[in-house]
């Protein structure tokens, strides 16, 4: 090998080393940025939690666990309890999910299995547009259209039908106000429906066509294919969509504030007015006078934060178990 060849070889090796060092620095920088982004999320979450605890501390110190057991809410005497708001939040979200989950799954199954192809895109687009409507629009519509409609039709029918039925007579008792727990639940169901439907439709579309074709080839009906092939294959995604909708229902503010009645009391009747945590905070935070009043509202915010975290953590745990069982 001549001197010129040696020089060329050395230059090539140097270029490769330079390129490798550049790639290594790029990878290290990328890894650092992503790590900082992950830590930033945890820092922000911790800061929110800490600020809520600090703001709620006067109420925590004054009422303790009694805050969870009292429905009293009297700014004049500074006696506050969060039971009515917690009850309203959980009940409205539960009823909304009981309505929206089967309806959303049914729409998603129809779009992926039975809907004529010319109608799939228009219906899917309509569902996506429904998800983009601002919550205050739902609230106005609920107050001026849905509430009067329920007051004149559904609520009187429920009161009359179940008047002599034990338990149900208490659930549908009282004058038909139009607004109340049931109305807020229906609004929430309409609002979370597009999220559940869109996510379920997308995960249903991920099922390999060969699996469904094999099931149809064995003589399965559409219902049997959905029950035995589609849903088992996509249950993790379905649960994720349901949890997304539940998170939206728990934290919804403006639409619920318009139609729930904002009454700090617990009634066994679903057509009676009530309140939720988010509605209470939205209605009263700007009018809160005194440290204890403001602290009690922040305490409600802390409770809602914890409820949401528990729900999401439970959903994540359920998904992990399902994935582990699927792999096992």
Q: Where are the domains of the chain?
A: 1-64, 70-327
Cα-to-chain-centroid distance, residue 120: 25
Mean pLDDT of 211-229: 89
Express each pLDDT in 84-116 by its tens digit.
Answer: 999 999 999 999 999 999 999 999 999 988 888
Cα-to-chain-centroid distance, residue 153: 30
221 vs 223: CA distance, rounded Å = 5
Express each pLDDT in 28-81 by its tens digit.
Answer: 888 899 999 999 999 999 999 999 999 999 999 999 999 999 988 998 888 999
Widest distance between CA atoms in the chain: 107
Which one, of 142, 152, 138, lies nearest residue 183 by Cα?
142
pTM of the model: 0.87
Look up residue 289 and give its DSSP letter: -
pLDDT band at residue 190 under the 50/70/90 scheme: very high
- When the candidates are 3.40.50.12160, 3.40.50.1980, 1.10.3720.10, 3.40.50.10490, the CATH number that belongs to 70-327 is 1.10.3720.10
Helix (H), strand (E) at residue 74: strand 73-74
181 vs 156: CA distance, rounded Å = 15
Distances (CA, A) of 171 to 80, 150, 272: 26, 16, 9
């Amino acid at each position: 090998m001549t001197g010129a060849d040696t020089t060329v070889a050395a230059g090539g090796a140097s270029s490769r080393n330079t390129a490798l060092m550049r790639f290594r620095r790029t990878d290290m920088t990328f890894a650092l940025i992503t790590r900082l982004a992950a830590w930033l999320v945890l820092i922000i979450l911790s800061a929110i939690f800490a600020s809520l605890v600090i703001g709620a501390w006067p109420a925590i110190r004054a009422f303790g666990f009694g805050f969870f057991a009292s429905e009293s809410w009297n700014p004049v005497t500074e006696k506050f309890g969060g039971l009515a708001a917690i009850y309203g939040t959980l009940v409205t979200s539960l009823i909304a999910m009981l309505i929206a989950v089967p309806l959303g799954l049914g729409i998603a199954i129809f779009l992926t299995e039975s809907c004529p192809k010319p109608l799939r895109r228009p219906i899917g687009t309509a569902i996506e547009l429904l998800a983009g409507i601002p919550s205050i629009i739902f609230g106005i519509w609920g107050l001026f259209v849905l509430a009067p409609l329920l007051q004149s039709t559904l609520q009187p029918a429920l009161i009359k039908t179940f008047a002599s039925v034990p338990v149900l007579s208490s659930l549908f008792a009282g004058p038909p106000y139009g607004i109340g727990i049931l109305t807020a639940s229906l609004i929430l169901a309409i609002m979370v429906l597009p999220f559940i439907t869109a996510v379920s439709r997308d995960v249903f579309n991920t099922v390999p066509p060969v699996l469904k074709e094999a099931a149809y080839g064995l003589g399965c009906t559409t219902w049997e294919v959905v029950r035995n092939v589609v849903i088992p294959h996509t249950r993790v995604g379905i649960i994720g969509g349901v949890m997304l909708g539940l998170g939206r229902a728990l934290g919804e503010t403006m639409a619920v504030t318009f139609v729930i009645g904002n009454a700090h009391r617990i009634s066994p009747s679903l057509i009676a007015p009530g309140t939720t945590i988010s509605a209470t905070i939205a209605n009263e935070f700007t009018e809160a006078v005194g440290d204890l009043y403001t602290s009690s509202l922040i305490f409600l915010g802390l409770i809602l934060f914890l409820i949401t975290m528990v729900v999401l953590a439970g959903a994540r745990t359920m998904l992990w178990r399902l994935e582990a069982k699927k792999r096992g």
